């Protein structure tokens, strides 16, 4: 092959490697997109779900689960007929249409949520695979219950208006089809019905009411927030200059669009009575001087006759309509009835206008809340992204294939990898080669018994950095759900320094324990040498010499102390010994030293552990009490009749009662003399016992009934 061919092959390989690197970056970006998309689906206030072609749920976000009030297990694999049987027919019909046509369908469904029927605007669309084949359904829903309720109220008002208009129109047509006033009434009602805003409604009223009603002046008075105060508005177009002279009166300023009237200004007016009693007032029944507002309008505008009628809403009277006429003839019953009818029509229109404004307000609030929630969601994602990235502990997210899908800065620093190198890396690559087989077994075991929440905490492991540097670490594993798939959040902490420090402490403790054992061994040897010297000295004395007996007792005392150090030398823990075992050894040693054939029993009901500081004086006390028992107890061969029983001459009891250590030495001998007082005894042994009891803050009691019983009570030593 020529060199030109070699160059061509090398260029093609470089292009392939560049393309592979580009594809890998695209895959990483897509995986991150999937993670963020799943988080957005889970946190969005919208209801999002997915179903297979059999209408079984396979995806349900947090908002959907909250509304359904069921966990994953009671949603996945179930259909709408199982969750919402009342609405299942409509949902299934729309779903089948989407599956058949492949086109999205938007519908409203009414579902029972928490005992309340709520309306959802739902878009159901087809899910296609790469080949374009429909394999499932997706759905996005928005709770529009408040908007639907407002719309229904608006429709109800519109229907009421339509009914009122129809009734009014029919009545007018039946009375007289030729009556121009009635035709104008119908026209203004129609115009009001077509008004799309509050401004348009009042613009329609201004300039048309007076000709429509055959009156000279029209004013509207509405309550303010349900209180006694009202707002007054002129509903005709005549300018202020044409209103005639003005005099003082209760708040009538035609130049103002709305004039506020307080409760004080309403006192003694026709408006106040109409608002209070919900019945019309007119100059047919009352003189215009009877009410302050009529009198004021008469003086200002030159009006002679007045009719004031109530305006009704669902909650009662919300305002009054006041009309004025010129002339001496009082308003007729028909005129009053016509004005009352118009008041009813105007009430309906104003109610519709109020409902429309409420709907606008609710929609604006809803849009504001959606924007706020969206902004909060974006802020939350950014905040948690920063928390993950800036966390001081190394964090890794691992997928079900045991590969790293995301890492934070601490993890990349700990393992000496770039972010692009960690993503997609098998977790086994972070474990030393000899441990990878056992690591895979452990991971498979965790996968088979995967449960939500913490799977491991503070587990000690060995890890490896890029470049092959091993280190000790502790990991914590938490099972999480991302994109509907199980993942593991792993927290890794480098504990190499702590492990090294622990190993150093362990070595130091081992050396100190060895040294302490050697010290106890040497102390025991020195005490045995002292004991042997005292014994040799006693052997060179005559048997009758009092000093020989004292030396022998000293030998026993020294051996009792040596026995403490001997036991400490032979146990693992150097800070305490088990006193029951010590009592058995000491009692056996003393019986051999005395050459006694007394029957001996040592009973330890509860293990009693003491330190060497307590063990030495306690051992000396037990030595003195046993020495006394061997000296004065029941002679060998004679059946015991004392308190120790028929098969024992000397009994040693060691145990714990409550928080007190009890040590007793009992013999079946003749007992102590009557009126015996241990506090006044001149015996060296008892003087030693008294001194040691004070040192241990213990109490010694003596009982001589059928033999002697010496019992020591001491506070239970604290046990670490």
DSSP character at residue 434: G
Confidence of residue 170 (pLDDT cuts 50, 70, 90): low
Q: Provide the CA 533 distance to its chain's centre, in angstroms.
A: 76
Confidence of residue 282 (pLDDT cuts 50, 70, 90): very high
Confidence of residue 255 (pLDDT cuts 50, 70, 90): very low
Q: Where do the H-state alpha helices sit in 540-611?
A: 546-569, 579-594
Q: Report percent pLDDT > 70 for the chain.
A: 72
Which two structure tokens, joined as six digits, stand for 660? 């007190």
pLDDT at 355 over 80: no
Provide the pLDDT for residue 295.
87
Q: Report percent pLDDT > 90 for the chain.
A: 2
Which tops the pLDDT comparison, 533 or 333?
333
Confidence of residue 549 (pLDDT cuts 50, 70, 90): low
Strand partners, 456: 477
For residue 472, give every residue at least 6 positions away whose Cβ sits within 8 Å of its Cβ, in sequence order, or none. Answer: 460, 461, 462, 463, 494, 495, 496, 498, 499
Give the Å distances, CA to CA, from 189 to 251, 376, 470, 676.
Answer: 29, 47, 89, 125
- Distance of alpha carbon 377 from alpha carbon 63, whole angstroms: 14
- Distance of alpha carbon 116 from alpha carbon 121, whole angstroms: 16
For the ranges 545-549, 602-606, 690-694, the lowest mean pLDDT is seen at 545-549
Which tops the pLDDT comparison, 528 or 663?
663
Question: Rounded mean pLDDT of the chain?
Answer: 76
Which tops the pLDDT comparison, 242 or 96?
96
- Distance of alpha carbon 687 from alpha carbon 5, whole angstroms: 112
DSSP character at residue 589: H
Provide the pLDDT for residue 333.
87
Confidence of residue 280 (pLDDT cuts 50, 70, 90): very high
Q: pTM of the prediction?
A: 0.32
695-709 confidence digits (pLDDT tens)? 888 888 888 777 788
Provide the pLDDT for residue 228.
56
For the ranges 78-82, 178-182, 276-280, 331-335, the lowest mean pLDDT is seen at 178-182
Provide the strand spans (E) within 465-546: 470-482, 485-494
Q: What is the β-pairing status of strands 134-143 and 230-234? A: unpaired
369-390 confidence digits (pLDDT tens)? 888 888 887 887 788 778 878 8
pLDDT at 230 over 80: no
| CATH number for the domain formed by residue range(s) 392-494 | 3.30.450.20
Most confident range, picked from 186-200, 395-409, 583-597 = 395-409
CATH topology of domain 163-344: Beta-Lactamase (3.30.450)
Mean pLDDT of 323-348: 84
Q: Which of helix, strand or coil describes residue 704?
A: coil
pLDDT at 246 over 70: no
Question: Backbone phi, then psi, for 234, in 5-degree steps?
Answer: -80, 135
Provide the pLDDT for residue 489.
83
Provide the pLDDT for residue 540.
59
Which two structure tokens, joined as six digits, stand for 705? 């009934």
Confidence of residue 523 (pLDDT cuts 50, 70, 90): low
Provide the pLDDT for residue 538.
64
Confidence of residue 547 (pLDDT cuts 50, 70, 90): low
Give the Å distances, CA to CA, from 59 to 105, 108, 404, 484.
Answer: 19, 21, 24, 8
43-62 confidence digits (pLDDT tens)? 888 888 898 988 898 888 88
- Tell me which residue of 225, 251, 311 sits closest to 275, measured CA to CA: 311
Which tops the pLDDT comparison, 514 or 647?
647
Q: Which of helix, strand or coil describes residue 385?
A: helix
Which two structure tokens, joined as six digits, stand for 471? 């280190």
Provide the pLDDT for residue 181.
57
173-203 confidence digits (pLDDT tens)? 555 544 555 666 667 677 777 766 666 766 7
For the ranges 110-124, 165-179, 625-639, 696-710, the lowest mean pLDDT is seen at 165-179
Integer distance in angstroms from the first to the last C-alpha of the chain? Answer: 83
In the CATH hierarchy, which top-level class contains the domain 591-720?
alpha beta
Confidence of residue 557 (pLDDT cuts 50, 70, 90): low
- Distance of alpha carbon 152 from alpha carbon 146, whole angstroms: 10
For the ranges 113-127, 448-462, 517-531, 697-711, the lowest mean pLDDT is seen at 517-531
Contact 73, 79 (CB under 8 A): no
């Amino acid at each position: 092959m020529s060199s030109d061919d070699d160059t061509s092959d090398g260029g093609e390989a470089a292009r392939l490697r560049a393309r592979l690197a580009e594809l890998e970056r695209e895959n990483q970006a897509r995986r991150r997109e999937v993670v963020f998309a799943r988080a957005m689906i889970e946190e969005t206030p919208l209801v999002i779900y997915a179903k297979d072609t059999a209408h079984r749920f396979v995806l349900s976000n947090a908002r959907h689960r909250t509304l359904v009030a069921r966990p994953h297990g009671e949603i996945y694999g179930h259909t709408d007929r199982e969750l919402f049987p009342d609405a299942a027919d409509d949902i299934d019909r729309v779903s089948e249409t989407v599956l058949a046509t492949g086109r999205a369908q938007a519908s409203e469904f009414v579902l029972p949520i928490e005992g309340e029927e709520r309306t959802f605007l739902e878009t159901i669309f087809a899910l296609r695979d790469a080949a374009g084949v429909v394999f499932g359904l997706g759905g996005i829903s928005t709770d529009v219950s408040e908007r639907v309720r407002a719309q229904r109220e608006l429709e109800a008002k519109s229907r009421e208006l339509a009914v009122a208009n129809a009734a009014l129109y029919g009545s007018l047509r039946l009375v007289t089809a030729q009556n121009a006033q009635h035709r104008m009434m119908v026209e203004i009602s129609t115009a009001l019905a077509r008004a799309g805003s509050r401004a348009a409604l009042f613009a329609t009223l201004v300039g048309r009411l007076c000709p429509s009603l055959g009156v000279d002046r029209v004013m509207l008075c509405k309550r303010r927030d349900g209180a006694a105060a009202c707002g007054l508005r002129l509903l005709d177009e005549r300018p202020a200059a044409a209103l005639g002279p003005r005099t003082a009166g209760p708040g009538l300023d035609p130049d103002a669009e709305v004039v506020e009237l307080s409760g004080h200004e309403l006192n003694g007016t026709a408006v106040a009575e109409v608002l209070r009693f919900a019945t019309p007032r007119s100059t047919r029944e009352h003189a215009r001087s009877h009410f302050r507002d009529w009198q004021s309008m008469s003086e200002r505008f030159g009006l002679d006759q007045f009719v004031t009628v109530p305006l009704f809403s669902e909650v009662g009277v919300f305002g009054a309509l006041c009309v004025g006429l010129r002339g001496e003839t009082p308003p007729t019953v028909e005129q009053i009835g016509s004005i009352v009818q118009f008041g009813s029509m105007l009430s309906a229109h104003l109610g519709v206008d109020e409902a429309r404004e409420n709907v606008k307000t609710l929609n604006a609030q809803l849009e504001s809340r959606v924007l706020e929630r969206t902004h909060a969601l974006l802020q939350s994602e950014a905040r948690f992204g920063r928390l993950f990235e800036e966390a001081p502990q190394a964090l890794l997210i691992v997928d079900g294939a045991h590969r790293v899908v995301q890492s934070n800065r601490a993890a990349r620093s700990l393992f000496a990898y770039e972010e692009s190198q960690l993503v997609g890396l098998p977790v086994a690559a972070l474990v030393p080669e000899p441990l990878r087989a056992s690591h895979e077994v452990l991971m498979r075991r965790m996968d088979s018994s995967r449960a939500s929440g913490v799977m491991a905490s503070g587990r000690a492991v060995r890890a490896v950095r890029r470049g092959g540097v091993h280190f000790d670490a502790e990991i914590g594993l938490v099972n999480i759900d991302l994109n509907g798939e199980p993942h593991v959040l792993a927290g890794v902490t480098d504990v190499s320094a702590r492990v090294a420090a622990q190993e150093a402490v362990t070595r130091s403790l081992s050396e100190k324990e060895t040294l302490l054992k050697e010290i106890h061994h040497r102390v025991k040897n020195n005490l045995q040498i002292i004991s042997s010297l005292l014994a040799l000295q006693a052997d060179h004395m005559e048997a009758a010499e009092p000093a020989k007996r004292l030396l022998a007792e000293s030998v026993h005392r020294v051996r009792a102390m040596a026995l403490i150090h001997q036991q400490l030398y032979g146990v693992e823990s150097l800070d305490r010994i088990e006193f029951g075992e010590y009592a058995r050894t000491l009692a056996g040693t003393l019986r051999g030293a005395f050459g006694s054939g007394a029957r001996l029993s040592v009973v330890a009901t509860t293990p009693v552990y003491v330190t060497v500081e307590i063990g030495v004086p306690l051992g000396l006390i037990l030595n003195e009490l046993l020495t006394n028992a061997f000296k004065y107890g029941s002679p060998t061969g004679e059946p015991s009749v004392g308190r120790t029983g028929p098969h024992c001459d000397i009994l040693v009891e060691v145990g714990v009662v409550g928080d007190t250590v009890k040590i007793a030495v009992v013999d079946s001998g003749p007992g102590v003399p009557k009126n015996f007082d241990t506090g006044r005894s001149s015996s060296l042994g008892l003087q030693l016992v008294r001194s040691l009891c004070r040192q241990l803050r213990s109490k010694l009691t003596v009982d001589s009934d059928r033999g002697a019983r010496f019992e020591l009570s001491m506070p239970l030593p604290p046990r670490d």
